Structures are given as structure tokens and as C-alpha cells.
Amino acid sequence: MSRLLYFRHAQASYGKADYDQLSKKGYRQSEHLGNHLVTQGITFDHIYLGPLKRHRQTLSKVQAAYQDAGLDLPDPIEMKELEEHRGPEVLKSVLHILAEEDELIGQWEAERKSNPAMNIKNGLLIFDRAMELWATGAINHHHPDEFLNWSEFRIQVKRGYDQILDQHKEESGLTIGLFTSGGTISATMGHVLGIEQDRNIIRLNGIVQNTSISEVLFSGHRVTLKSFNEVPHLPADLKTYV
């Protein structure tokens, strides 16, 4: 059996102009992840990397930990299929419509406009609600043409997953690292577990912790989920979801 180790990127810069940038806490999380992998004696045969800056920044701290320990890592292979979905951009473009069409989103949006102290809390509520509507196709009639919808995103994720399995199906005993995002991981877990309802898959997205580890065992195209969303390397004050 070989294994795929999926790593969600560390905390990015939620609420900032450039979200695709690790926060100070994110860099600390990444350092903890790297030190944990070295301490556990985990060696990688291949590493695949999403195309976003936060993916590469997270990996860079892991690479530094291995370098400090005198250990080598394989050169990462970038894959577009490990890119995060564009749900946040979709939400930004249609929020004014959803605030009129959806009672809960309208209520939360009005509350945070009248009370800035509720901006982050209500922003997350709006995001979770909008992502469920997005994943179930309820807002496809408003969907910007320049972004993949959820169904298209899932097809892209599965294409990358299948490519990796095809590439390594004749090998055994491999450890393959994949540095990506929560949406990509949740879509992959939905496929591995055979979850049919998109509503349930997108809900996984909201609980994937920063720098969490999810492990999938495979032999050929036979796959088994061994673990999901584990953060044994993080102290309580470094555990985050956004």
C-alpha cells in the first residue's frame, strides 16, 4: 500500500486585501508541521503542490525543517488541480443579490453593516450559508462565467486525483505529499468516501483545520481513508480553521 498525505495550507490573511498570504500565525503553524514530520521520520517519494502562494509558503517551512535536519525532499510538482475553489470570489460578486433573495444572508449582512463588531462572525456565517447554496447549484443562475462552479470544481479535483493514482499505481510503499486547500481536500474526501450529497461535502470544507493532515491509502485504484483533518503538531492556541 502507498499513501497520500493531504496538507491544508496554514492560516492565510482572512479579511486582508491579499488573502493568499500566510499570517504570522500561519508561518508558526507551518514550522510546527515541518518539525512534526521530521520528528515522525516521514520521508516523501513525491510532493505535489497547488498553484497558490499560501500552498508554497506552507511547504517552504516544511522544506526548511527538513533542510535543518539534513534531510532531502523531492522537488514539488505544481498541479492546477490542487488549486482551491473560487467560492469566495463568487460570493463577493453575488452577495448583493443573495442578501435580497436569502432571508438568513440578508439578516446577517444587515447586522454586520449596522454593527462592525459582528463583521467577522457574520461574515463567516454568510460564507458557510453561501457555500452551501453554491454547492447545491442554487445560485448557478447568478454565477460569474469566469469562475468554475462547484460541480466543475469537483471534476477538476477528481481529474488531478486520478492523474496521481494513474501515475503511481504500479508502485508500492510510496508516501506522497499534497499541499493544497480545504475545498480541494473536502472534495477529495467526498470522492474517497462516496458521499453523494454536495451539501455534505461542502460542510467538510468548513471544518478542515489549517496545516491539518489527512491520509488516504491506495493500491492501484483501491483507496481507503485512514485519517482526516488531524493536527497532532499544533498546540491549542495555534489551531485555526480560517
The grid coordinates of residue 126 equal: 454568510
Residues making up the chain, counted from first to last: 242
**Band of pLDDT at residue 220, cut at 50, 70 and 90:** confident
Residues 68-80 have a mean pLDDT of 97
Which residues lie across from 6 on neighbouring strands?
Answer: 178, 214
Residue 16 has pLDDT above 70, yes or no: no
CA 95/CA 4 separation, integer angstroms: 36
Which residues lie across from 47 on neighbouring strands?
Answer: 177
The grid coordinates of residue 4 equal: 497520500
**pLDDT, tens only, 121-179:** 999 899 999 999 999 999 999 999 999 999 999 999 999 999 999 999 999 999 999 99
CATH, domain range 2-85+148-238: 3.40.50.1240
Cα 187 from chain centre: 9
Global pTM reads 0.93
**Band of pLDDT at residue 221, cut at 50, 70 and 90:** confident
**Band of pLDDT at residue 120, cut at 50, 70 and 90:** confident
Question: Which residue type occupies 223?
Answer: V
**Band of pLDDT at residue 17, cut at 50, 70 and 90:** low
Cα 61 from chain centre: 18
Residue 15 has pLDDT above 70, yes or no: no
> Residues of CATH 3.40.50.1240 domain(s) within the chain?
2-85+148-238
